[in-house]
């Protein structure tokens, strides 16, 4: 959350001339409801099922794919991501993403949580993200364009070495 996935994804989409697919957006379109409404009306378990099914579909496409932060909680999702062509973890320190998310009411899991609870949530997931990624980029001191450039360079090098 708040790491810049959407912004960096859009930049990569443009430079790599690939469509961008945001899993949360696709779920919202399919369900005709916001993530907050899906959580409220169907619950987190149902949302995670929808998220898994969407992941399986979008991984079949040649695209820049942006996932929600909780996708990593499922062992099945982690296995799919690890087996995917190229997964990047945009690592952002809690103080940075807390600053970016201040006042954001669109993320159900951070509503009414203290800064400590949100940091604990991040820390409980950090190793899962790192273990599932082919590349980890620490984003705190980088612009979205610098992050996109690093990803594209690494992707190109990786492609040449395959």
Q: Mind listing the pLDDT tens digit for each residue in 89-147?
A: 999 887 777 676 666 666 655 666 677 887 888 888 899 999 999 999 999 899 999 99
Structure tokens at 84: 């995917």
Q: Which residues pair with 22 in a beta bridge?
A: 66
Segments forming the whole domain that contains residue 81 = 5-160
Does 159 count as an annotated binding residue? no
User: Which of 79, 30, 37 lies closest to 51 in space, CA to CA?
Assistant: 30
| CATH number (domain holding residue 50) | 3.40.50.300
> Does the annotation list 158 as a binding residue?
no
Residue 130 · residue 74 · CB < 8 Å: no
Say whether 140 counts as a known binding-site residue: no
Q: Is 43 helix (H, G, I), strand (E, B) or coil?
A: coil
Spatial separation of the C-alpha atoms in residues 98 and 69, rounded to whole Å: 14
Q: 2 or 38: whose pLDDT is higher? A: 38
**Is the model's pTM score more than 0.85?**
no
pLDDT of residue 5: 86
Q: How big, in percent rounded to 5, are the helix, strand and coil portions of the chain?
A: 65, 10, 25
95 assigned ligand-binding residue:
no
| 40-51 residue pLDDT tens | 999 999 999 999
Confirm or deny that 113 is annotated as ligand binding.
no
Per the annotation, does 3 bind a ligand? yes
State pLDDT tens for residues 51-96.
Answer: 999 999 999 999 999 998 889 999 999 999 999 989 999 998 877 7
What is the separation, in whole angstroms, between the first and last Cα of the chain?
32
pLDDT at 16: 93
How many folded domains does the chain comprise?
A: 1
**Residues whose CB is less than 8 angstroms from the CB of residue 55 and which lie 6 or more positions away in sequence, other chains included:** 23, 67, 71, 77, 80, 81
């Amino acid at each position: 959350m708040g790491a810049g996935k959407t912004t960096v994804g859009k930049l990569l989409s443009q430079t790599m001339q690939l469509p961008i697919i945001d899993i949360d957006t696709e779920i919202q379109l399919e369900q005709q409801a916001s993530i907050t409404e899906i959580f409220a009306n169907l619950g987190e378990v149902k949302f995670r099922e929808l998220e898994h099914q969407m992941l399986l579909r979008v991984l079949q496409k040649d695209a820049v794919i942006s996932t929600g932060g909780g996708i990593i909680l499922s062992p099945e999702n982690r296995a799919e991501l690890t087996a995917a062509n190229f997964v990047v973890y945009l690592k952002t320190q809690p103080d940075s993403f807390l600053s970016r998310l201040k006042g954001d009411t669109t993320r159900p899991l951070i509503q009414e949580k203290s800064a400590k609870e949100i940091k604990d949530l991040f820390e409980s997931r950090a190793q899962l993200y790192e273990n599932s990624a082919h590349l980890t980029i620490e984003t705190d001191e980088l612009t979205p364009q610098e992050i996109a450039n690093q990803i594209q360079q690494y992707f190109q090098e990786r492609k040449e070495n395959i």
